[in-house]
Amino acid sequence: MSHKLVRAIIAEGVIKLIMENRKVSQDMALDMFYGSKIAESFADDETGLYGQSALYIFSLFEEEQK
Structural domain including 42 reads: 3-65
Confidence of residue 3 (pLDDT cuts 50, 70, 90): confident
Taking the model in full, what pTM does it have?
Answer: 0.90
Q: Distance between CA atoms of 5 and 37, rounded to whole angstroms?
A: 20
Number of domains in the chain: 1
Please name the helix (run of DSSP H) or strand (run of DSSP E) that holds residue 23, with its range, or none.
none
Average pLDDT over residues 9-17: 97
The candidate with the shortest Cα–Cα distance to 60, out of 2, 27, 11, is 11
Q: Distance between CA atoms of 49 and 54, rounded to whole angstroms?
A: 10
Q: What confidence score (pLDDT) does residue 1 get?
A: 62
Average pLDDT over residues 16-21: 98
- Using only the alpha carbons of the chain, give its radius of gyration: 11
Average pLDDT over residues 38-52: 91
